[in-house]
């Protein structure tokens, strides 16, 4: 694979394993309403399109009818619990070392996530990833978030002199692939994440761990 000049990362399920923290926060909301706790497997299926859709999917999975007012209130409650629970996730092993080597190799890095901006940047800071990023674009500061390509293009604009053809999107979800391809970027699928799309797109390069990104780009191993 030709080495890109810029790499755009998804966050949850690509750089960070946020599902346990997200699940704890959702289940705090559910416990207050005497609902059956959600399983880790279910939570992973609901992640990827921002907190409001997460809560809507969780409610549907719990057999609840659509209720926009309740969904808004429960999303706000979820975000409060999520912020109280700590940084909001754990780093995938090797992510810091990989980002450090990518930057040393001359690549510009950024994060494009449907997670709210403040929560995303707080997580990047807490896990030591922020110093390697030129920036982050959360799903709440753009008019349309992934799978809309304008979200990816807004992130691409953080780079200096990197056109879409000179950048790659690294992500685990269908929304990452759809947004990147529509924006004209190449894609690398993180099969270890939550999206489960590697089998659906055998035409795309796949990494089984974040560390696999280095040899894929010809940067070497550590």
pLDDT for 221: 52
Q: What's the rounded mean pLDDT across residues 139-152?
A: 97
Q: Which of 149, 88, 160, 77 is nearest to 120 (CA)?
A: 88
Q: What's the rounded mean pLDDT across residues 142-157?
A: 98
Note whether 152 and 124 are within 8 A (CB).
Answer: no
Q: What's the rounded mean pLDDT across residues 73-99?
A: 94
* Separation between Cα atoms, residue 202 and residue 165, nearest integer Å: 21
Q: Residue 222: pLDDT band by 50, 70, 90 thresholds?
A: very low
pLDDT in tens, 13-67: 999 999 999 999 999 999 999 999 999 999 999 999 999 999 999 999 999 999 9
The DSSP result for 139-200, as a single string, is TTSSSS-TTSHHHHHHHHTTSSS--GGGEEEEESSHHHHHHHHHHT-EEEEETTSSS--TTT
Choose between 49 and 87: higher pLDDT: 49
- Considering the segment(s) 19-84 as one domain, its CATH architecture is Orthogonal Bundle (1.10)
pLDDT for 195: 85
**Residue partners of 109: CB distance under 8 A and separation at least 6:** 6, 7, 8, 9, 99, 102, 103, 132, 133, 134
What percent of the chain has pLDDT above 70? 99
The answer, yes or no, to whether residue 115 has pLDDT greater than 60, is yes
> What pTM does this model have?
0.93
For domain 6-17+89-216, give the fold.
Rossmann fold (3.40.50)
* Separation between Cα atoms, residue 44 and residue 35, nearest integer Å: 18
pLDDT in tens, 123-141: 999 999 999 999 999 999 9
Write down the domain spans for the chain. 6-17+89-216, 19-84
């Amino acid at each position: 694979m030709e080495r890109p000049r810029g790499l755009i990362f998804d966050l949850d399920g690509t750089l960070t394993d946020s599902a346990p923290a997200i699940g704890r926060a959702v289940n705090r909301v559910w416990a207050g309403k005497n609902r059956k706790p959600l399983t880790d497997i279910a939570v992973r299926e609901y992640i990827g399109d921002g907190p409001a859709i997460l809560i809507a999917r969780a409610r549907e999975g719990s057999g609840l009818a659509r209720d926009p007012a309740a969904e808004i209130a429960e999303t706000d409650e979820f975000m409060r619990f999520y912020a109280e629970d700590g940084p909001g996730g754990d780093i995938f092993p090797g992510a810091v070392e990989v980002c450090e080597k990518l930057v040393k190799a001359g690549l510009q890095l950024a994060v494009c996530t449907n997670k709210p901006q403040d929560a995303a940047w707080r997580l990047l800071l807490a896990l030591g990833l922020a110093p390697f990023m030129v920036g982050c674009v959360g799903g709440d500061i753009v008019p349309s978030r992934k799978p809309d390509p304008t979200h990816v293009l807004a992130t691409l604009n953080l780079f200096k002199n990197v056109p879409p053809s000179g950048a790659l999107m690294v992500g685990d979800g269908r929304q990452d692939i759809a947004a990147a391809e529509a924006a004209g970027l190449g894609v690398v699928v993180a099969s270890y994440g939550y999206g489960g799309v590697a089998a659906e797109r055998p035409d795309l390069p796949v990494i089984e761990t974040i560390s696999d990104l280095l040899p894929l780009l010809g940067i070497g191993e550590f």
